[in-house]
Amino acid sequence: MPVIVIANPKGGVGKSTLATNVAGCLAHAGHSVMLGDVDRQQSSRQWLALRPAHLPRIQGWDVNAEQVLRPPRGVTHVVLDTPAGLHDKRLDAVLRLADKVLIPLQPSLFDIQATHAFVQELQAHRRAGEITVGLVGMRVRENTLSNEQLHHYLSTLPVPVAAWLRDTQNYVQLAARGLTLWDVAPSRVQRDLEQWQPLRAWLEP
């Protein structure tokens, strides 16, 4: 049962947006998905409360860094949303569960600095060789200097980029109704679905 952790110690990088859509992507692929939330803000839990019952089910489960993860019976995939400031014992507790870690970041100097330190921390962890790590560029605006700088920086890291996701209100509007890109007509979000293709391959190679 794969456990996919969405993590970055910096706040506001898009962890909950990425976590909910990863869960939605897997659920629409026919998997039995649990979306856990170790963030005190419980953003993913609040999102689940909004999710319409007729859509592919995503189960919720409250977890924290001290609890043992015991998903409901029948769950095949676990997605964990994590808080800002994830370090030391809390990070270790999450990484003991993880099979894959996705690190979202936006095109800003502060995101780059935080991500650089976090990647180093992951590489120093005793389970580093057992966990697959990928980066996701969030709220990317093409043909901007910040985007160019982010591409250049990420090319220097020993971690692959799983996807580049554009800056669009689609994610905001869908999240407000408990939805993901896969819950609406594909024609409405065609460009976004195309950007998710490499990420889907990363999630399920």
| pTM reported for the whole predicted model | 0.92
88 pLDDT tier (thresholds 50, 70, 90): confident
Instruction: Report residue 75: phi and psi, to 5°.
Output: -70, 135
The one-character DSSP state at 180 is -
- Give, for 169, the enclosing helix (H) or strand (E): none
- The structural domains of the chain, with segments of one domain joined by +, span 3-203
Q: Is the pLDDT of residue 204 over 60?
A: yes
Helix/strand/coil percent split, the chain, to 5: 40, 20, 40
Query: Residue 157 has what pLDDT?
Result: 87
Strands 161-166 and 58-62 come out as unpaired
Radius of gyration of the chain from its Cα atoms, rounded to whole angstroms? 16
pLDDT per residue as tens digits for the range 145-163: 888 888 888 888 889 999 9
Instruction: Select from 3.40.50.2000, 3.40.50.300, 1.10.3720.10, 3.40.50.970 the CATH code of 3-203.
Output: 3.40.50.300
At residue 17's C-alpha, the angle toward residues 12 and 20, to 5°, is 140
62 pLDDT tier (thresholds 50, 70, 90): low
21 pLDDT tier (thresholds 50, 70, 90): very high
Residues in the chain: 205
Query: Residue 69 has what pLDDT?
Result: 56
- Among the residues of 99-155, which ranges form H helices? 109-124, 145-154
Q: Is the pLDDT of residue 26 over 70?
A: yes
Query: Residue 191 has what pLDDT?
Result: 97
Query: Residue 45 has what pLDDT?
Result: 83
Q: Say how far apart CA 51 and CA 190 lie, in whole Å.
A: 21
For 89-96, what is the mean pLDDT? 89
Query: Residue 44 has what pLDDT?
Result: 82
Query: Residue 66 has what pLDDT?
Result: 54
